[in-house]
């Protein structure tokens, strides 16, 4: 991750949030933590995030609802859905709603880093494609 990557971690378990924070913190990453979907959407309304690590099952607003809202309002943000209850149906739903990836807990630090790097790379290539398409239409 070259430039500062802004990452939002959304999980109702503090130990999980802190684990992801430790794995991702560095001078090229700015990581913010929230404990539920409502707080995540409020935070996204005040500033942009490149990558969102999103727990699927949380009290109140569940991860799928949050994912849907994020992709509607902030489609440039890449979302990685993370769950302790993996199922093919929910994986399909997450990808259909626009998630970049779907991971099953527990995930180690390397998995968190690799997923965030992959999402950021995907975002950069998508932005590059959009710029090239825009330049092509201007010619």
Residues found in the chain: 139
Least confident of 77-81, 118-122, 132-136: 132-136
Predicted model pTM: 0.87
Task: Classify domain 5-138 at the CATH superfamily level.
Answer: Response regulator (3.40.50.2300)
pLDDT digits (tens, 9 = 90+) for 41-74: 999 999 999 999 999 999 999 999 999 999 999 9
Task: Indicate the pLDDT class of residue 122, thresholds 50, 70 and 90.
Answer: confident
Distances 67 to 17, 63, 73, 82, 106 between C-alpha atoms, Å: 18, 6, 10, 11, 20
Check pLDDT > 70 for residue 132.
no
Query: What's the distance, CA 56 to chain centroid?
Result: 12
Show me where the domains of the chain are located.
5-138
Per-residue tokens: 23: 């794995």
Q: Which residues are paired to 60 by β-bridges?
A: none
């Amino acid at each position: 991750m070259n430039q500062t990557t802004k990452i939002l971690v959304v999980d109702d378990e503090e130990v999980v949030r802190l684990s992801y924070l430790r794995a991702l913190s560095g001078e090229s990453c700015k990581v913010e933590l929230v404990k539920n979907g409502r707080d995540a959407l409020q935070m996204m309304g005040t500033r942009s995030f490149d990558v969102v690590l999103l727990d699927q099952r949380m009290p109140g607003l569940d991860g799928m609802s949050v994912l849907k809202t994020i992709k509607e309002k902030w489609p440039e943000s890449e979302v990685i859905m993370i769950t302790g209850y993996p199922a093919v149906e929910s994986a399909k739903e997450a990808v259909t709603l626009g998630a970049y990836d779907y991971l099953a807990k527990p995930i180690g630090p390397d998995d968190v880093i690799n997923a965030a790097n992959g999402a950021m790379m995907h975002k950069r290539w998508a932005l590059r494609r959009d710029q090239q398409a825009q330049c092509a239409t201007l010619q």
